[in-house]
Structure 1
């Protein structure tokens, strides 16, 4: 099993996915071609690769974006549309451990919606950790949750570095 972590924020368009990453980094962040360091606690960082805009919105295949990435932690937006299944399939094929924070309802949704794509069951069957959170609520608590999950995973593997 590959010892890599795939942390995703899943939701409809304008659900708060990018806002979540911006809050996590403490600034506006975008996808780039290289990894960066994420400060998890004061002066404690881990190397991550970020896909801020979802592959589904960009009409890209996750495998093409992640093929040459070596960061052990990948942060990725996933849009809740049919095409998200190809991202999930790639991540499972590459044997990432998965943590998915599903924004349901999302910031722009009128209310919570059922899992009409069956993504929740597929993720649970693959032993992913799923947390359903409201994109309408302040992002502070869900960002803290992401930060602590990543910290625990990375600290156990001795991936935390001084920054």
Structure 2
């Protein structure tokens, strides 16, 4: 004779009891202060103000975790500014090393001679063989008065 073993059947799940007490217990606790969204404490504002003197707004945001928009709002409300972003801090040293004072002096003499001959700025830079950027730098650095020859049309 074969023995048949009976498997107990599973019971149906109990109904969910969503009572007010269970919902209150599952909800996160209310904070003692009802602060508006995006509010930053005074300690964090003091830290941001201190960091703003030496770092950019992007670096302050990375270090504090405060959004860019909130940082701008804090700066306007508390009247301070962040250090401006400098894309190339080492470029000034490189640029100063590339300037040749002897060549600059010769080009200044050529520019003054072209001005006295009545050439326009473009014609002068083409005759001398220098770039417009170098021409503008020499005019500014050596305070050369070289008027623009403009054609005034009616």
Answer whether TM exceeds 0.5 for this pair.
Answer: no
Larger relative strand fraction: 1
Query: Which has the bigger relative contact order, CA under 8 A and spacing at least 6?
Result: 1
Structure label with greater radius of gyration: 2
Normalised TM-score (structure 1): 0.18
Larger relative helix fraction: 2
Normalised TM-score (structure 2): 0.19
